[in-house]
Amino acid sequence: MKIFLDTANLEELKTGVAYGVIDGATTNPSLIAKENRGFLPLIKEVLEIVPGPVSVEVTATSAGEMVEEAKKYAEISKNVVIKVPINLEGLKVVKTLSDLEIKTNVTLIFSSSQALLAAKAGATYVSPFVGRIDDISGDGMELVEQIVRIYENYSIPTEIIVASVRHPLHFVQAAMIGADIATIPFSTLTKLLNHPLTDKGMETFLKDWEKVKK
């Protein structure tokens, strides 16, 4: 399973990439706004840091405007993936961009039917938001299981990005189900390494080494 960082923070991205486990990144208008930077200059810096795909979301609402916005972003780098909302206008955009060989990430997926329609339109990626489903007493990972099964049934090449990851368990469940990608906050990435037995083991080894030195 590939790991993307869900952030537009340059320091988080630099640190994550330095760990050697980051394959890409996802951004959205909310994450961009947190950085208090110019949009295009920030995206260009993100693309310089991240070694793989970087999702950049369109903000227009009509299909024509979204396509023009997407073309502008796609010119920046071959690693740009255009993030498009799952609605009727969005489907038109995905089809058009697919014909232009511009990669897309269909976002705000909350049902398997949405995921199937996005794939039919030519989406490169779909992003089911598991945490937001859990927030309203649903089961986000069940949705991921459904999408995985449907895509496998028909050998659909669209990749599944598990998004809105709230904690390490979501990450592990995504890997067990067979999702292609999990996009996670930097805070979740660091939590994946934490284990009390690891800490205890290191503490014991260091204490024993002090005895050897003496």
Task: Give the residue among 50, 70, 38 at the shortest CA–CA distance from 6.
Answer: 50
- For this structure, is 83 an active site residue? yes
Q: Which residues in the chain belong to E strands, given as ranges?
A: 2-6, 24-26, 54-57, 80-85, 104-109, 125-128, 159-162, 181-184
Point out the catalytic residue in the list 14, 44, 83, 207: 83
- pLDDT tens track for 111-147: 999 999 999 999 999 999 999 999 999 999 999 999 9
- Tell me the pLDDT tens digit for each residue of 32-85: 999 999 999 999 999 999 999 999 999 999 999 999 999 999 999 999 999 999
Could you give the domains of the chain?
A: 2-213 (3.20.20.70)
Angle at 66 between CA 83 and CA 69, to 5 degrees: 85
For residue 207, the model assigns a pLDDT of 81
Q: What is the model's pTM?
A: 0.94
Report the range of poorest mean pLDDT among 12-21, 47-56, 195-204: 195-204
Q: 213: pLDDT confidence band, cut at 50, 70 and 90?
A: confident
Provide the sign of the torsion angle of the four alpha carbons 48, 28, 149, 115, taken in this order: negative
